[in-house]
Structure formats: structure tokens, C-alpha cells
Chains A and B, each alone.
Chain A
Amino acid sequence: MSLLSIDNLSLAIHGTQILKEVSLKIEPGRILGVIGESGSGKSITAFSVMQLLPYGAECSGKITLAGEDILSRSEAQLCAIRGRDVGMVFQEPMTALNPLQTIGTQVAETILIHKKVSRAAAMERAADALRRAELPQDRFPLSRYPHELSGGQRQRVVIAMAIALRPKLLIADEPTTALDVTTQAQILKLLQKLVVEENIGLMLISHDLAVVADLADDLVIMRKGEVVESGHADNLFRNMQHPYSRALLKASGHVPERTGHARDTALLQVRNVVREYVTHSYGLWGTTSQFRAVNDVSFEIRRGESLGLVGESGCGKSTLTRAILGLEDVQGGEILFDGQPVFTHEHANSDVRRRMQVVFQDPYGSFNPRWKVDRLVTEPYHLLERQPKGREKDRAIAEALESVGLNETDRHKYIHEFSGGQRQRIAIARALIIKPDLIILDEAVSALDVSVRAQVLDLLADLSDRLDLTYLFISHDLSVVRSITERVLVMKAGQIVEHGPTDDVFDHPKHDYTKQLVAAAPALPDDVAGGRSHDPISGSLV
């Protein structure tokens, strides 16, 4: 008998069908990977097991947990099961903990709610749970508050809460999506260890095939509320049957086709750049401290090249981007674009700035919701001395939209009428409209589903060939950087610790940090069919 079995689970919220006949099984001591893109219903499946569903949700089918029929239990019986038999870990560790209670109190609560033990005994067991989640008491005492911990540490607290009563089943809903690569690897390792040592069954939900590939014993691939494929991980990766899962696999390892056209002339030169922040605190006891976000950084981007910049959050890559764009002055060194400084006399050098553009990560926050596409796309015209008007402007808008695969008629729409992938295309159109030489892509594909990401990468590759563009490609995702750049810089704590041709750096990392990053990066098994493919991605995924 399986630990958890879901049979033909269908679910509707206020009459809208969300899940259709989902079936899956989890055995003790094994990991089930549930994979799907946004809207696939993977999270709602997990919440059905806990019966923590949005208002108006109705389930049919059968959920059996350790012999108990979940759907027929009363709310009080469910409360007794939650936390005791099933533990859950969530995506957003920064908000998953009550900010007003100590971590000890919050972990002990799991115990107190289910067991008749004294508070002191519960605290004792909470300390033990934290230890099992690798938060030793000498460094992370029970009296800590969540705001004193980092994201990865908070996620360990959530895990400690989930495993405090040694549940049979652990559900982890995108547990590492909000974390850095190296932290992600550590959390995944911890989960794996718990599965083995405590014989827990783990349901690991992710949008990222590679994250699950290393870990899962069994796999379920979901799409639009249905399971499209399931089976043992080893077999499944090699013999995918459903066209969607095959396309998904292919998209995960997708490498866009591009012809290198880098030349020997330098387009952007960054020389010994230092960027310091002075942090003030006001008042009688105000103190001033300095923080060096970018520390003696030097590199060059050659004309026509695509250069990658990888690093984890807080490494200084965003600060560096702002300095390159001339939005902020630097405290040391210089940044030259085609031989001219990007920042002169307290101001950005406008001659230079009109030759650089940027595409941001968040497809939702990158556009003023009250503007129409034509106004959004032509905003960079502000940089030009002579701004195109009338017919010329119309032609430019049409050209920009068409070059990113959109329609000229889209110019009259508002941004909320577009999907995430389309918005990123509009962001690229906005960058293209003034025909820049350099485009900085700041995590430009990180927020996109794999299939959409593959299409946008293809588009970028195609544009760079056609328009002779130079890219600075900033990302935390090594596989993406690898697929589209020729050279790469690795940044840590404000410094470039390693640089070189992308394949060399990732295949033979020299610096310890690069080695860590490469080892931590989730990767699909090498021998998997779709591993790295140059085939263009068809639109059938979306």
C-alpha cells in the first residue's frame, strides 16, 4: 500500500475546472517529482492533500494517506493530520514565518498543537527538529526571530516545523525557487537526507526539470490540470511518450542557434570600477558606514559579442548594471563606451546612453500599466536629439514590434492584455527602437516558463545576428548563460573572481566559488535525449 495515493482527483473552484482526474502515488522513503509550468495545477494538487484549498473549491475522486480517506475527514480530523502526518514546505521563505514570534515558539507550536507535552518539553523537541534541519543551537538559538535569518535559514526553520513530529509525508512546493543556486543545492540535499534517514515520502513540486532530475525517484508531469506523463524517473527521462513532456525536456536544455560575430574592437570597457554606498542613519546616534558593492572590477565587451555575468543575489551585479548605464557615478575607475565615458559632470553622457538599452527581469513590473504599447515602446526616444514623429515614428514602432514577433496592431493595446512572454518581447522592442549597439539583459528570461524562455532566447539570438547587437547577459542561471554567451564573468561579493570562454569556465572552473556554483547548478542528466538541443522550439507548448 502506498503512503499517499491520489486517484482521479478533480477539482473546481467556483465551477471553474482546475484539476482533471489527477492520479499519483508516493511510497515511503521515495521522492516524487511533480513538474509543470505555471497554471499546470501542481501546487493545487499539493494543497488538496492538505485540504488547504481556496474558498469555493470542490474536490472529487479519492485521496488516501496511510490508509485514511482524506476527502471524507471532518475539518477537526484534518487538523489532527496536518503537521502530524503531513508536513509542508512553501516557496517563499521570507514570508512563510510569523515575524512576531521566535523560531523556537513557531517550531514548538507544531508539537504543542498535536501532543500533550509541557512547553519546555516542546521547546526541547523544537531544538532537536532545528538540529535535524541543520540549524545547530549554538548558532541559531530558539530565541531568534525570523528577520535575523537569511532566506535559506528561514527555509530550514519551515522544514524543521514540517518534520518536528516526524511525519510520514513531506510536501515541498517549489521550496528553492526563491533561493540562490548554492543555497538551493543545500536545501535539496537536506530534503534528500531527511527522506533517506527518516523514511519520509517526499512530494517535490517544481517548474524546473533540472531541479527534480537529480533527486526524484518517480516523476509526474502536469499540464493544464492534467497528468500527461508519469513513471520512474530513470525510464521517463529516456522514453518520454507525450509530446508535451518531450517538448518540455527539449526546452529545458535548449540552446539557440547563433553565429558568433564578435570582433576584436572593444565596445564597452570597464576599468577598475569601484562603487561604494555610504549608509546613513539619522538622529543623535546616527552612524555612517561604507559598503563596497563593486570592488575593483575590470572587463571588456567586444563589439558583436555576447558576454555573460553570473553571480548570486547581493553580489553587486545590479549595482554594476546601473553604473554601466550611467545612472550612478562610480567612486573609482572608469567606464568607457566606444572610448567615451558613460558618466560625465554629474550626468549620464547622453551621446553614449542612446547607444545602450536594457531589458529587465519582471515582465509585469517593467511597464507603466496606464500607457499603451506605442507610448511604452517609444519611451527611449527621449534620449534622441531629433525624435521621430508621424509616419517615421509609426514605421519605427511597426518595425520594432514585428522584429520581436508581435503585430503592428498591438501598438494600441495596454500591457495587461499580454502574457509574460509577450511582455518580454515588448521590452525587447522598447530596447530596439533606438537601434542601440549594446543591450543589457538583466535576468531577462528568469521569470519565464521554460518553453517561453526557449522562444525568447531564440529571438535574442536571431536579433543579435540580424542587427549586429552586443549583449551583456546577466543571470543567476548557469544553463541559460551557457546557452547564449561566448564569454562569461563570475562575480562574487563585488569582485570578478573568474572569467573566460563560457564553456571553459563551466567545464573546468578554476576558482573555488565557480566550482561551487557549477556543482550546485541543477542539471539534466547528460545522456538524456533532449539534453542540449539546437532544434527550434515550436509554439505548440503554449
Chain B
Amino acid sequence: MLRYFLKRLLSLALSLVAASIVIFLALEVVPGDPAAYMLGLNAQEDTLNALREQLGLNGTVLERYLSWAGGLLTGDFGISYTYRTPVSEMIGDRMWVSLPLALYALTLSTLIAFPAGIWAASRRGSYVDAGVMGVTQLGVAIPNFWFAMLMVLIFAINLRWFSAGGFAGWDAGFWAGMKSLTLPAIALALPQASILTRVMRSSLLDTLNEDFIRTARAKGLNKAQAMWRHALRNALIPVLTIMGLQFSFLLAGAIIIENVFFLPGLGRLVFQAISARDLIVVESVVMLLVFAVIVVNFAVDLAYALVDPRLRGRR
């Protein structure tokens, strides 16, 4: 178990280093001189120099990478040129919108998908199954930002149950904050829940065909017992994989959904930064999101080991 953990940890570290190099190359080396890029064509030479100094751009590519990566490790993301504030502060504020939104959506989609998938699988071929499959077919196909707009139209503009956008802030209380995240989270969760339901269902059906389910039935377990005690945990392995992959879609989706609801999250931040040519902010946000994806997949790997003794027992 320890060895599996350490191996995964090593691969986590390598992935992070590789990702940071890719991001650094794409956003600091490819554009040429970032200072000139940020200030545009008409910049004065001394302004440029000042910015270069401020951004730590004087040095070889390797030196710049090391100082940037070193900064990341200590939580120092550099200074936004546009806002003249530390990027870490800007991100810190926005993260408390984006992260809860992603977790809220993940929770919702899991809470919907697990029961729905199990329900459909246990009544394979019935109207329940056909109904669940039909709904998920639509859920997979619907663009989530459009679904979000429709929800705004119905629940905010017509029924006035929710506000059409904006974020109440956590200062206004936990429930007020959650309320302003509810429509965005539902919009975000719907396609993910649909995919997860389908994966859960097909994985369960596959597992129910396994020989050991027949063995369990021969012991005297009824269908439900065989499913809950033997099939479910085995079926979870592919579901975990998909949940890990989904997290990156969830983050990407969150960036778009934040735009529909005018939520002050990382997504809004990154688009503002793009239009302001504030590369440091873009770089930091992208790095943070990639970091989140990699860490989540690391967690999924660990979850595998919890579920599957064959990984734990590898000696």
C-alpha cells in the first residue's frame, strides 16, 4: 500500500512539473517578450524595463522558470500588472466562488447519478430503465450554458425564486451564498449527472454478468443482495475513473457557467485577464486549474486502492 502511494505521489509530482513547464512555455516563452506583449505596441522603453524588472523577466528562460515555479510553491504567483495587486490575493477571493461551485455540482451529480444508475440497472429493460436512459440522453446533449439560460428565464425572471445572477457573497451567510450558487450548480451538474448515470448503469450491468455474481446467487443471495454486496463495489471502479475525468470538465464548465450568472469566480477573472492582456493572471489561473485536475486524479488513484485489494496487495 505504502509503495503504491509513494509511486502515485511521485507520478503526481512529475505531472505537476511537466504541466508547469508546458504552461510556462505557452504563456511566457511563445509570446516573445511578455512585457512588450502586455503593454502593447506603443510602450516606452523605460516603462517596459520597469515592467520587466517587476515581472522578473531579466534572466535566462531557465532562471525565470525556476523563480516562477519556486514562487508557486510558496504561494507567490507574482503581481498582476493591470491591477497592481498580488495575483494570489485575486485568485484567493475568486476561488471561494469557483471551488464551492464545482464541489456543489459534483455532489449534486453524484447524488443524482448513483441512485438513478442503480435504479435503471436493477430494472433493466423496464420503463424505468427506458425513462432514465431517455432523460440522460437529453442531459448529455444539452449545452449546459443554454440550460442555465433557460433556468434563469424560468426560475429567476418568471418565477422569481432565484436572482438572475451575481453572488451574494459568503458574508451574507452560508445559505444566501449557497442559494446564489444553486442554479449554476444544477446547470453544471446536469450533463455530468447524465454521463455518470449511464456509466454507473452500464458498469453495474457488466458486473452483474460476472461469474462471481452467479457464485453469490448460488450461495442463496437474492438479486438485490447480490447487487448491493458484490456488484456495486466492483462496478465502482470504472465509475471512479469517469468521476476523475469529469472533474476537469466540471472546472471548464464552471468557467463558462460563471459567465451566464455573472459570478465573480476564476472564470470571470481569466476572461478579464485575457482582454487586459494580463498574462500572469491567465498563467496562474490555468496552473491552478490544472493543479486541481491532477490532484483530483491522484485522489482517484488512491480511491482505487481503497476499493481494490489487488492494487493494495501488490508486493
Contact = CB atoms under 8 A, between A and B. Distances in A.
**Bound together:** yes
B310 A285 contact: no
Interface in B198-230: 210-212, 214-222, 225, 229-230
B309 interface: yes
A76 B222 contact: yes
B258 to A, nearest CB: 39
B233 interface: yes
A319 to B, nearest CB: 24
A71 B313 CA distance: 44
Interface string B156-200: 000000000000000000000000000000000000000000000
Contacts of A80: 220
A279 interface: no
A140 to B, nearest CB: 15
Interface in A388-408: none
Contacts of A283: 7, 10-11
A39 B225 CA distance: 31
B220 A113 contact: yes
A100 B307 contact: yes
A158 B225 contact: no
Interface of B is mostly: helix
Interface string A26-62: 0000000000000000000000001010000000000
Given A97-B212, A100-B308, A285-B6, A87 B218 contact: yes
Interface of B: 3, 6-7, 10-11, 210-212, 214-222, 225, 229-230, 233-234, 307-310, 313
Contacts of B11: 283
Contacts of B217: 50, 52, 82
A47 to B, nearest CB: 9
A487 to B, nearest CB: 40
Chain A contact-residue range equals: 35 or more
Contacts of B6: 284-285
Contacts of B307: 100
A366 to B, nearest CB: 25
Contacts of B234: 98-100
Contacts of A284: 6-7, 10
- For B3, B220, B225, B230, the residue with the greatest tally of chain A CB atoms inside 10 Å of its CB is B220
A164 to B, nearest CB: 9
A81 interface: yes
Interface of A: 50, 52, 75-76, 79-84, 86-88, 90, 92, 95-102, 109-110, 113-114, 145, 147-148, 158, 161-162, 283-285
B7 A50 contact: no
Nearest to A86: B218
Contacts of B225: 113
A200 to B, nearest CB: 15
Given A52-B214, A98-B216, 17 more contacts: A52-B217, A79-B220, A81-B220, A83-B218, A84-B220, A88-B215, A90-B211, A95-B212, A98-B230, A100-B308, A113-B221, A158-B215, A161-B215, A283-B11, A284-B7, A285-B6, A285-B7
Nearest to B236: A100
Contacts of B212: 95-99
B220 A145 contact: no
A99 B309 contact: yes
Given A92-B211, A283-B10, A113 B310 contact: no
- For A76, A92, A109, the residue with the greatest tally of chain B CB atoms inside 10 Å of its CB is A109
B315 to A, nearest CB: 9
Contacts of A148: 313
Contacts of A110: 219-220
A84 B221 CA distance: 11
A145 B218 contact: no
B309 A145 contact: yes
Contacts of B215: 88, 90, 96-98, 158, 161
A79 B10 CA distance: 49
A94 B244 CA distance: 29
A98 B235 CA distance: 12
- For A86, A98, A285, the residue with the greatest tally of chain B CB atoms inside 10 Å of its CB is A98
A89 to B, nearest CB: 9
Q: What 6 A-B pairs come out closest when comparing CB atoms?
A: A83-B220, A83-B219, A95-B211, A88-B218, A82-B220, A98-B212
B309 A147 contact: yes
A179 to B, nearest CB: 15
A99 B234 CA distance: 8
A57 to B, nearest CB: 14
A51 to B, nearest CB: 10
29 contacts: A50-B218, A52-B214, A52-B217, A75-B222, A80-B220, A81-B220, A82-B218, A82-B219, A83-B221, A86-B218, A87-B218, A90-B214, A96-B211, A98-B212, A98-B234, A99-B234, A100-B233, A100-B307, A109-B229, A110-B220, A113-B219, A145-B309, A145-B313, A147-B309, A147-B313, A162-B218, A283-B10, A283-B11, A285-B7
